[in-house]
Chain A
Amino acid sequence: MNIVVCVKQVPDTWSERTLRESDSTLDRDAADAVINELDEYAIEEGLRLAEAHGGEVTILSMGPDRATEAIRKALSMGADKAVHLVDDALAGSDLLGTSAALAAVLGQIGFDLVILGSESTDARTGALPAMLAERLGVPQLSYASKVEVDGSAISIHRLADYGYDTVEATLPAVVSVVEKINEPRYPTFKGIMAAKKKPVQTMSLADAGIDPATVGLANAASEVTGWAKRPPRQAGTIVTDEGDGGAKAAGFLAERKFI
C-alpha cells in the first residue's frame, strides 16, 4: 500500500505566536517550530497500516526550507521517504491554494491512502482533508478515531458529537485522524540516524506542474485586513475558600443571573 502522510510544520503553541506587520501572515521566525501535533498521530497510523499490510509511507509537506526539520522528524519515526514542496511563490497560500498545491503533488506521486491530521494548531481550519478529497475525487474519511483496511476496503470510526459513525469506502481514499486513534511513537536513536539517509525529494511549483496563479498570498481568495493583540481580560474577583467558597460562588452566579 502506498501511503502518503501530509505533515505541516507549525509554530509551537507554547511560544508566543504572532502575525507579521508587513503582510499579516504568520510570523514563522517568532516562534519555535514543531510538527503539527495531530500529524504525528497521522504518521503513526500510516506506519501501523504499512506494518500490518505492507507498503511504503511517504511524508508530504508544503512549507519553507525550515520544514525539513519536521520532515526529518517524521522520517526518524519510521517513514520511508519524503516529498517537500517548497517554493517562494507558495508563501501565504490560503486553503484553496494549499489544497490545490497538495492535490497536484498527490496526483503526481500517486497514492492508495492519504492521511492527515484533522486540524492544524495554527490555521485550525479543519477543512483541508475534505478539500483534498474533493479535489482528488476520492472518499473523505475524516475525524477517524479508528481505521481498518482489508484489501481495497477501508472503514473508519468517524468521531461525532454523539459518539461516532462507522464509515466504509474503497481505496484510494483520504483519511484524517483525531488524537484518540493511537499513541505516536518516539523516534529511536537508530531511527534518527537512519532518517539522515532517507530520500527527501524537493519539488518546486514547476516540478509539480502547479500554476503559480493559483497559489501564494497575492492569489489567495481570502485576506487578512487587520489584526490586533487582544486586550487581556479584566481582572476578576478571587476569593479564598474559608468554608464558604461554594456559597460565594453561588452568590456570584446569582448576581449574574445564572441561577
Chain B
Amino acid sequence: MAEILILADHDGESVKKVTFELITLARTLGEPAVVWTGPGAESAQARLAEYGAAKIYVCPGPDFDDYVVAPKAELLAELAASAAPAAVLLPNTAEGREVGGRLAVKTGWGILTDVVGVDQSLSADQVIFGGAINVTSRVRTGTPIIAVRPNAITPEPAEGAAVIEPVSFTPSETARQARVTGKVVAERGARPELTEASIVVSGGRGVGSADNMALIEKLADKLGAAVGASRAVTDAGWYPHQFQVGQTGKTVSPQLYVAIGISGAIQHRAGMQTSKTIMVVNKDPEAPIFELADFGVVGDLFNVVPQLVEEIENRAG
C-alpha cells in the first residue's frame, strides 16, 4: 500500500487534534506516514501510534520555527520524491496551505485546499461560497496535495506501528530568507484553539463592549469552548483579530457553535456554516442567523447567557 504523507501540526509539546484527523483520513487511503518537523517526536510517538500512524519521518533540525514555511515545503518535497506517496495531506491552516502551495510549485502536482472529505479514489469534497455550494474535485496532475479543514474528520483510534524513521535534511539558503526573530504570545488562558475546538462560543456586536466579552468567555469556559467573535467585535477592538470567525477570519467547523448577539451576515456565516450543531441567542427574531439555528433563543443576551451559565453550573454541581 502506498504511503500517505501527513504534515504533523504540533507545537513541540502537544500534537494538534487535526493531525489525528489527518491520520484517520489517511488510513482509508493508504499507509499513514507522519512527517514530524522539529523536536518532540519521541514524546508524541505513542499518541500518533494510537491513531494508526504506520511511520513517522522525524526531522528534528534545523529549527523549522526559525524560518517562515519554506523549509517545511523543501523537506516535504524531498520526502515526496523518495517515498512516492499516493497523496500528501496537510492541515488547512494558514501555514498548512502555504506549505502545500510551495510543494505544488516544486513538484508541479495539483493542490486542493479547504477540503472536508476525501474518498478512496482521492476525490475531494469542498464547501464553497460561504457554505452555499458543495463541490467535488480531484487532482489530475501528479500526486494530490490536499489541505483538509480542521474538525471536518472525526479522529478515530486504531493501532499503528509508528516506527520512527530519522530524516536528515538541510534547507537551502533560499528557504531561509524569511527569518523569524521573535514570537509574541497573546494572553489566551487555557482555552482550546479556535479552529480545533469542538465547541466555539462567539460574541457579536450585541455584546456591546470589550468588558462584556467576559460574559462570552465565562460561557465558553463552562463549556470547555474556544471564544470567537464577529468582525463587528474585532473591528471595534473588543477582542483580538485572530479570534474573528468568517470570510476574512477563521473557518470553524465545531460540533457546537454558539452565536451570541450576532446577526448572521453572509460573511460571518461563511466561517461557521458547516458547524454540526448551531445555537443562537439574539433579541431580534428576524436576525438571519436564526435560519441556521438548531436551537435559538429570542431574547436579551444579558438575561439569557447568565442564566445559561448558572444552569450549567447547577447541572455540573
Stretch at the interface among A78-86, A197-205, A231-239: A231-239
Judged by a CB distance under 8 angstroms, whether A186 is at the interface is no
- Secondary structure dominating the interface of B: mixed
Which residues on the A side are within 8 Å of B242 (C-beta)?
159-161, 163
* A253 touching B312 in the complex, CB below 8 Å, given contacts A221-B108, A223-B140, A239-B297: yes
What bracket does the count of chain A residues touching chain B fall in? Answer: 35 or more
What bracket does the count of chain B residues touching chain A fall in? Answer: 35 or more
Contacting pair A245 B281 (CB below 8 A): yes
How many residue pairs, one in A and one in B, have C-beta atoms under 8 Å apart?
287
Judged by a CB distance under 8 angstroms, whether A226 is at the interface is yes
Which residues on the B side are within 8 Å of A252 (C-beta)?
279, 294-295
Q: Which of chain A's residues 6-43 have a Cβ closer than 8 Å to chain B?
A: 13-14, 16-19, 24, 37-38
Judged by a CB distance under 8 angstroms, whether A53 is at the interface is no
Contacting pair B112 A227 (CB below 8 A): no
- Secondary structure dominating the interface of A: mixed
Which residues on the B side are within 8 Å of A179 (C-beta)?
241, 248
Contacting pair B182 A166 (CB below 8 A): yes
Nearest Cβ on chain B to A224's Cβ, whole angstroms: 5
Q: Pick the contact of B306 from A134, A239, A244, A246 — CB < 8 Å?
A: A246
Stretch at the interface among B51-59, B163-171, B185-193, B206-214: B185-193
Stretch at the interface among B24-32, B34-42, B93-101, B153-161: B93-101
Judged by a CB distance under 8 angstroms, whether B134 is at the interface is yes
Residues of B within 8 A of A (CB): 68-70, 73, 93-94, 97-102, 104-106, 108-114, 123, 127-142, 147, 174, 177-186, 188, 193-195, 199, 222-223, 234, 241-242, 247-248, 255-256, 266-267, 270, 277-279, 281, 285, 290-300, 303-312, 315-316
Q: Can you spell out 5 A-B residue pairs with CB atoms less than 8 angstroms apart?
A: A121-B248, A130-B102, A158-B68, A163-B183, A221-B110
